[in-house]
Chains A and B, each alone.
Chain A
Amino acid sequence: DAGVTQSPTHLIKTRGQQVTLRCSPKSGHDTVSWYQQALGQGPQFIFQYYEEEERQRGNFPDRFSGHQFPNYSSELNVNALLLGDSALYLCASSSPGQGNAEAFFGQGTRLTVV
C-alpha cells in the first residue's frame, strides 16, 4: 500500500518565480492538507482540500494556492517566490468522512529560493 507521495523531493527556484508541488494521497484517503515547515519549526497549516474544493485555510497569503483533482491528488502553487518561502512543504492525507482523522504525511518537498 503506497503511502503519501510527493514530487519533486528537492527544488531550487529564484526569487519572483512560480513553483508547483504535487501530492498523491494514501490509498483510500480523500482529503489533502498542505503544511509549510521552516527549519527548526513545526509544520504550519496552509490549506486543506476535499471534493476538489478548499475547505480550510491557514494564515498564508494569496500567493499560495492549490488544486485537488478528481483522483484526490493535489497541487500546491506558490507565486512570486520570496526568500522566506524556503522550507519543507509537506502534504498530509486523511479520510475524515470515514471517521478516521489520523493524518499521514509524505516525505516532503524541500524548496530553496535563492
Chain B
Amino acid sequence: QKEVEQDPGPLSVPEGAIVSLNCTYSNSAFQYFMWYRQYSRKGPELLMYTYSSGNKEDGRFTAQVDKSSKYISLFIRDSQPSDSATYLCAMSERGTGFQKLVFGTGTRLLVSP
C-alpha cells in the first residue's frame, strides 16, 4: 500500500463547475499538507500549504484536512479552462528542519469551455 493514494483521473468538468480533488494517506505522522499544480512538462507550482486539521481558503481554492480520517481535499470554485492541469497532493512529517515530501500520483483535471 502506498503512503499516499490519489485517484489519477482524468476528471473532466465544464467551465464554472466546483471541483473536488482528494487524497488519502496511511502515515499518521504527517502533519503538513500541500497541493501543487503541474502543467504539462513543467515543474509543480505550490497552491496551498496547511498544517494539521482544518480549512484554508485562498481565492477560488479551499484546502481541507481531516487527520482523524487521514483524508485531504482541494476544492476549486468557478473552475476555468486554465485550471486544466495535474494536481498533486504532498505531505510531510515535519514543517521545519529537514523534511521530505511524499506525493500522490496526481489527478489530471480537464476543464472544458
Question: B100 touching A48 by the CB < 8 A rule?
Answer: yes
Name the CB-closest residue of B to A57.
B100
How far does the alpha carbon of A107 sit from the alpha carbon of B38 in the complex, in Å? Answer: 10
Instruction: Assign chain A's interface to a size class.
Output: 20 to 34
How far does the alpha carbon of A31 sit from the alpha carbon of B6 in the complex, in Å? Answer: 28
In the complex, B8 has a CB within 8 A of chain A = yes
How far does the alpha carbon of A92 sit from the alpha carbon of B90 in the complex, in Å? Answer: 13
- Encode contact with A along B23-55: 1 for CB under 8 Å, 0 otherwise: 000000000101010000111111001000000
In the complex, B94 has a CB within 8 A of chain A = yes
Please give the distance in Å from A55's CB to the nearest CB on chain B.
4
Number of interface residues of B (CB under 8 A): 29
Question: B105 touching A41 by the CB < 8 A rule?
Answer: yes
Could you say which of B43, B100, B103, B104 contacts A56, with CB atoms under 8 Å apart?
B100
Which residues from chain A contact B98 at a C-beta distance below 8 Å?
Answer: 31, 48, 50, 55-56, 96
How far does the alpha carbon of A33 sit from the alpha carbon of B43 in the complex, in Å? Answer: 13
Which residues from chain A contact B104 at a C-beta distance below 8 Å?
Answer: 42
State which of A11-19, A66-74, A75-83, A97-105 sits at the interface with chain B. A97-105
Contact A99:B96 (CB < 8 A) given known A42-B104, A43-B101? yes
Point out residues on A near B: beta carbons under 8 Å. 4, 6, 31, 33, 35, 40-45, 48, 50, 55-56, 58, 88, 90, 92, 96-97, 99, 101-108, 110
